[in-house]
Amino acid sequence: MRAEGGQTLYFDVLRRKWLVLSPEEWVRQHVLFWLMAQSGWPAELLTVERSVRGSNTRSDVVAYNRLGRATLLVECKAPGLPLDEETARQAIQYNQKLNCPFLWLSNGLVHRVFRMSDAGYQKLDALPGFEEMNENA
CATH number at residue 82: 3.90.1570.30
Tell me whether residue 14 is in a domain. no
* Averaged confidence pLDDT in the chain: 91
Residue 44 has pLDDT above 90, yes or no: yes
Number of structural domains found in the chain: 1
> Residue 88: its pLDDT value, please?
93
The pLDDT of 89-118, averaged and rounded, is 93
Indicate if the pLDDT at residue 137 is higher than 80.
no
Residue 16 within any structural domain of the chain: no
Q: Is the pLDDT of residue 135 over 90?
A: no
| Residue 26 pLDDT | 95
Model confidence band, residue 119 (pLDDT cutoffs 50, 70, 90) = confident
Q: What is the dihedral of CA 41, 24, 114, 36, to 10 degrees?
A: 10
Q: What is the DSSP letter of 35?
A: I
pLDDT score at 51: 77
| Alpha carbon distance 92, 99 (integer Å) | 9
